[in-house]
Structure 1
Amino acid sequence: MGAHVIDSLLFQDLFGTERMREIFSDQNMVQKWLDVEASLARVQSEMGIIPKEAAEEIIRKAKAELMDFTEMKKQVDITGHPIVPLLRCLKDVCENNAGEYSHWGATTQDIMDTGMILQVREAYGEIYPKTKQLHSILCGLARKYRDLTMVGRTHGQHALPITLGYKIAVWVAELGRNIERLEQCSERLFMGQFSGAVGTIASLGKDGLEVQRRLLTDLGLAVPPISWHASRDTVAEYVSVLGLLSSTLGKMANEVITLQKTECGELEEPFKMGKVGSSTMPHKRNPMYSEGVVSLSKIIRSTVPLAIESMVTEH
């Protein structure tokens, strides 16, 4: 039973998708942490820092399905720490004490930050192409309805004639700018983290920067110019861009709601077989999907100031 609509069996698909729930599940989060640990072991064995046999065993056993999540939960409650319980579980499943060589030279935030970016990159792989697809659909609608005359309004009042194609073209332009923002911020966002305690990579000596470069290259991430342990600006920027994108989508949905009012009747959501407008008024055709988009856009926008607040850190 879910305590929130996102977890609710009845309502979760109105507020998210199965794929997004998979991406941000505990199972996938832990797998991403293990992916970083496995890649680190591989790189360090290639450089002769840890034994090859130990690295091979770590890579074999770095699978979320092999981890005891119940035990990890107990350990998190006891230790108050997210990664140490994972490392203990990994060591338990590795043979010949190979797990002792995991996490060599790393710190918790290296694993968590890089794992988070791997999750966010997967989510971006859902968001970006769907946004591009919507942009393409809207371009087609703008062309299709370029000659369909409708009322243009200012301050909510009738002003001068426009066309529906023109209105949609305005949406197209705004959505296009958001696509550009997604592309631009992704160049700064998909950057890994491997800097060790306090960000100096001192524990690996002269090998530190090369381990960092090989590790992040192996994971398909950019190498940062310096540690970002205490910097959250790239994450805050991405959340801000998502806030802008969701606001554009919310604006479009709100237009549909407004123009579907009985007094206007200019636009209308598709009303498929089986959809119900009201439990007591059978004539109702409510813009439920558009209302859902508006609600979601408000939720996403509300996270923007929280993301920016996360930038204020110490040391």
Structure 2
Amino acid sequence: MLTSAHSAAQNRVSLADAEPTIALGALDGRYRPAVAPLVDHLSEAALNRNRIHIEVEWFIHLCQQQVLPGLPRLTDEDIEGLRGIVTAFGPEEIAELGAIEAQTVHDVKAVEYFIARRLDGLGLGELKPLVHFACTSEDINNLSYAVGIRDAVQQVWLPAAAAMLEGLSALAEHAADVPMLSRTHGQPATPSTLGKEIAVFVHRLGRQVRRIEQQEYLGKINGATGTYAAHLAAAPDADWPSIAESFVEKLGLSFNPLTTQIESHDFQAEIYADIARFNRILHGLCVDVWSYISIGFFKQIPVAGATGSSTMPHKVNPIRFENAEANLEISNALLDALGATLVESRWQRDLTDSSGQRNIGTALGHSVLALSNVTKGLKQLDVAEQTIAADLDANWEVLGEAIQTVMRAEAIAGTPGMEDPYERLKELTRGRRVDAEKLQEFVGGLGLSPGAEARLKSLTPAEYTGLAAHLARRFG
């Protein structure tokens, strides 16, 4: 017997039938504003626009290269009209292409018919057989994806990473001189500065960005099994590898000269691995910043009107960094799966890559969303210098490292009584809190040279940061 609550649930209006359509995924719903720029490059509509772009440019290339007997050279007006098919691709054209695909049940063939419909109006109707000439679908698809991935990374992902790094670098500079107790294994350790620790992430993330900026994007256009068989059957005297190479390079891509039916996708696996590595480093930053917030090293600047907890009014939660952690994990799950799947194909072709590549936008979208959250989260941080200073001042025992190292140097210089420096400091400090008075008393009884004794007695935990500030400014 159904409960009243269960019965009521069964009678709800179906949200699947709502107009406009309600997004199933968070990226196209709640988080749409943060990832919307990717739609222009990696959505289904963008893929189809890129397919039209590739088909049109191949059409132009064949004409201008005069690869077939009887092909006319196109006028500037002809070329402008053909490229206008691409630039005019909007909502009405998306709907038209969808209707054609519903009949063809083949996305690339639908693109061919979509272009052919427009040639009569351009005065090029007799050249309809040239659309998709000697191409397999993957000739068009691989180039379309390569262009879309390149533009998404260069025009969306990299600017988002640069904006985040700019904020992170500013934080490193601002906190370069703020002495901080380090913690190795979660225990008090040799002090650093907050800025230097942030600068470590700036340096690591920047290195990954430079790798991604140098990425090669590969493409091919060599037929059904990568042999130019149909090309040679139609035009045996043409230098098809050179024609293909010049075409791919005109698209701003690097030419892959040897493939099966598909471009091998190795470049995709490379860039996904680099972005995933960037994501993992950024995830580490989020965890560290969250932890610093937890122990009070950072104060969060409240956002006017925002609620931290539905029941605890005092709370300002580090939600930006928590949100980023989750989205980086989702991004990496997809990037890792894509990188593993795309480099394999059964014999000359299977469709696993086709289904997998439809998730590229989602994979990059979660990374872009994380970058957006970290950028916003950094702007809401305020360095709590008094809390950091108090934490440091409560741990004078960290100077034990300095004392035993000076004792070693003194022993080498011939100062008597410097035996077993590490063991003597271990006995004094291990597992114990030592204040300034006890430490200075210990130093005074060691028999150090006057200069060394004076140097150690004047040392405080806040001053025991070595070159941290310099390193933060130079490399952060």
2:197 maps to a residue whose letter is: K
Q: Offset at 1:268?
A: 3.8
1:116 maps to a residue whose letter is: Y
Distance 2:300 2:145 in 1: 37
| CA offset digits 1:61-80 (Å, max 9, x no partner) | 34423974345435545544
Distance 1:124 1:314 in 2: 29
Look up the match of 1:280: 311
Asked if the contact 2:27/2:35 (under 8 Å) is kept, the reply is: no
1:216 aligns with 2:248: yes
Matched residue of 1:273: which SS?
coil
**Inter-CA distance 91–213: structure 2 relative to 1 (3 Å threshold):** same
Distance 2:221 2:249 in 1: 12
Q: Offset at 1:218?
A: 2.1
Q: Offset at 1:90?
A: 1.8
1:120 aligns with 2:166: no
Q: Offset at 1:149?
A: 1.6
Match for residue 11 of structure 1 among 31, 37, 42: 31
Distance 1:191 1:152 in 2: 45
Distance 2:83 2:177 in 1: 61
Distance 1:69 1:183 in 2: 32
2:64 maps to a residue whose letter is: E
Look up the match of 2:65: 47
Unaligned runs of 5+ residues in structure 2 are 1-21, 233-237, 348-476
TM-score by length of 2: 0.60
Q: Offset at 1:292?
A: 1.4
| CA offset digits 1:80-115 (Å, max 9, x no partner) | 422011111222232125433211122111111111
Q: Offset at 1:143?
A: 2.8
Look up the match of 1:102: 131
Asked if the contact 1:230/1:313 (under 8 Å) is kept, the reply is: no
1:151 maps to a residue whose letter is: L
TM-score by length of 1: 0.88
Unaligned runs of 5+ residues in structure 1 are none
1:202 aligns with 2:223: no
Asked if the contact 1:256/1:269 (under 8 Å) is kept, the reply is: no
Radius of gyration: which is bigger? 2
1:173 aligns with 2:191: no
Distance 1:42 1:66 in 2: 25
Match for residue 140 of structure 1 among 165, 170, 175: 170
**Inter-CA distance 60–148: structure 2 relative to 1 (3 Å threshold):** closer
1:129 aligns with 2:159: yes
Q: CA RMSD in A?
A: 2.4
Match for residue 107 of structure 2 among 60, 82, 90: 82
**Inter-CA distance 230–33: structure 2 relative to 1 (3 Å threshold):** closer
**Inter-CA distance 258–43: structure 2 relative to 1 (3 Å threshold):** same
Look up the match of 1:293: 324
Match for residue 256 of structure 1 among 284, 289, 292: 289
Distance 1:231 1:191 in 2: 9
**Inter-CA distance 157–114: structure 2 relative to 1 (3 Å threshold):** same
**Inter-CA distance 138–132: structure 2 relative to 1 (3 Å threshold):** same
Q: How many residues align?
A: 307
Distance 2:323 2:45 in 1: 28
